Amino acid sequence: MLGLRSAGVAVAVLLFASGALPRPSSEPPGGEGVALGREMAVPEPVPAPTPPPALAPPPPSSQIPPGYVYWKTIQARVTAYEPSSRSCGKSADGMTSLGDNAWRMDGCAVDPRAIPYRTLIEVPGLGVREADDTGGAMRRSWDRHRRFHIDVRFPYVAQAREWGVQTLYVNLYRKPETRKAPKETTCPKSPVPR
């Protein structure tokens, strides 16, 4: 009994012998390609994959104060809190880690190793917040997963719960680095030893 593969070869040989199928030529006429009967199919060139588009700087926001420039866009886990003891526990003293008033709702908590303090963060749906506080959850996210975590302040627990946990693309703005030019030092002329 013939195996399935050898039976298929035997059927193909019989079909070629009877003329029901045209014989494939060893080399297709006219160059490269695959011969299909009397026609020739030329393989289509495969285009190189295009890299994903880089995130372009956003248009200037009217909420960004003068002196700040666009830094980068990041994907971050954005959560919410309110600065009372219900959210902050024993560390709820009404002050941020920079000494600012925690009851001003223009700030947010970050890990300062990932997003430096005083960086402006444009959060979709909320506007611009300043990085002026930190918390254990933000530091753990950076330490364990190298994940950006931003905790925005709300005045009420209900608002913070309504915000929930979101993963968003946020724009970061910072003040341009101003490096002081080194002072020119002049060496007093000393006599050259002979």
CATH number of the domain residue 165 falls in: 2.40.40.10
State how far the Cα of 148 lies from the Cα of 106, in Å rounded to an integer. Answer: 19
Parent domain of 124: 69-174
DSSP conformation class of 101: B
pLDDT computed for residue 91 by the predictor: 84
Q: Residue 104: inside a domain, yes or no? A: yes
Closest CA relative to residue 140, chosen from 79, 99, 56, 190: 79
E strands, the chain, where? 34-36, 39-41, 69-81, 107-109, 120-123, 127-133, 148-153, 166-174
Residue-wise over 48-77: b if at least 16 C-beta within 10 A, else e? eeeeeeeeeeeeeeeebeeebebbebbebb
Please name every residue paired with 76 in a beta bridge, in sequence order, or none if there are none.
148, 168
**159 within domain boundaries:** yes
Greatest mean pLDDT among 24-28, 49-53, 62-66, 159-163:
159-163
Count up the domains in the chain and report the number.
Answer: 1
Best CA proximity match to 159, nearest among 61, 64, 84, 76: 84
Tokens 């931003």 belong to 150
pLDDT surpassing 90 at residue 118: yes
Residue 142's pLDDT is 92
What is the predicted pLDDT for the residue at 5? 54
Q: For the segment 61-101, what is each residue's pLDDT rounded down to a tens digit?
A: 778 889 999 999 999 999 999 999 888 888 889 999 999 99
pLDDT in the model for residue 44: 73
User: Is 146 a domain residue?
Assistant: yes
Say what the pLDDT of residue 133 is. 95
Whole-angstrom Cα distance, residue 25 to residue 34? Answer: 10
Question: C-alpha dihedral over 149, 70, 61, 112, to 10 degrees?
Answer: 30
Residue 143, pLDDT score = 93
Q: How is residue 65 written in tokens?
A: 């104060």
Could you tell me which residue, 119 or 191, shows the higher pLDDT?
119
In a domain, 21, yes or no: no
Q: Would you say residue 158 lies in a domain?
A: yes
Global confidence as pTM: 0.62
Q: Is residue 52 part of a domain?
A: no
Residue 181 pLDDT more than 90? no
In this structure, is residue 73 part of a structural domain?
yes
Whether 79 is in a domain gets the answer: yes
What is the reported pLDDT for 139? 93
User: Is pLDDT of 110 > 70?
Assistant: yes
More confident residue, 20 or 154: 154
Task: Kindly state the average pLDDT of the residues 138-167.
Answer: 95
